[in-house]
Amino acid sequence: MTIPTEGRYVRESLSEISEMALPLYANPLGNLLGGRVMHLVDIAGALAAMRHARCLVATASVDYMTFLVPVRIGEMVILKAAVNRVFNTSMEVGVKVFVENLRSGAVSHTSSAYLTFVAIDETGRRIPVVPVIPETHDEIRRWHKAGERRSVRLEIRKKYQAPAPPATGSD
């Protein structure tokens, strides 16, 4: 597949959000709930997708997430997202989650995820999205890897898709 030369650059989709981990979202260990992190990942990803597509988007899938480092209450959660690749009406967005200890300034990578968003109009119908143009070595690598991940996602979807009902001949 040839890398597009027309569309919008990856850098135009970049989104970054940050939030202090508050006690409201703590688990019994005093860490930020994984579900809260996943919620923030979805928001950061949607912002990047909307920046790129310039329309409403819906979350279609989230690849697995691992939690490498806990986020303790009082620390800053930082999420960075960008569109990796566009596939007609859908986009893969990569989101990286970091935690910053505000006292020491230490920053650690805590989670990553790939999300697929679908561009939709006001009635909820899918609409085409302009291609994303990778410029840097990392953006080009992510663009190629996104194609590989999409193939895997489509195979999984095909495997679990409900079979069509048998034809009855009475139609």
pLDDT tens track for 111-167? 999 999 999 999 999 999 999 999 999 999 999 999 999 999 999 888 888 776 776
Entry field: residues in the chain? 171
Give me the pLDDT at residue 34, please.
Answer: 96
pTM, two decimals, is 0.90
Angle at alpha carbon of residue 46, lines to 43 and 47, rounded to 5°: 85
Give the CB-side neighbour count of residue 112, counting CA atoms within 13 A. Answer: 6
Question: Domains (ranges, CATH) in the chain?
Answer: 8-159 (3.10.129.10)
State how far Cα 85 lies from the chain centre.
11
Average the pLDDT over 8-32 and give the result.
Answer: 97
Strand partners, 88: none
19 Cβ contact partners less than 8 Å away, ≥ 6 residues apart: 40, 76, 77
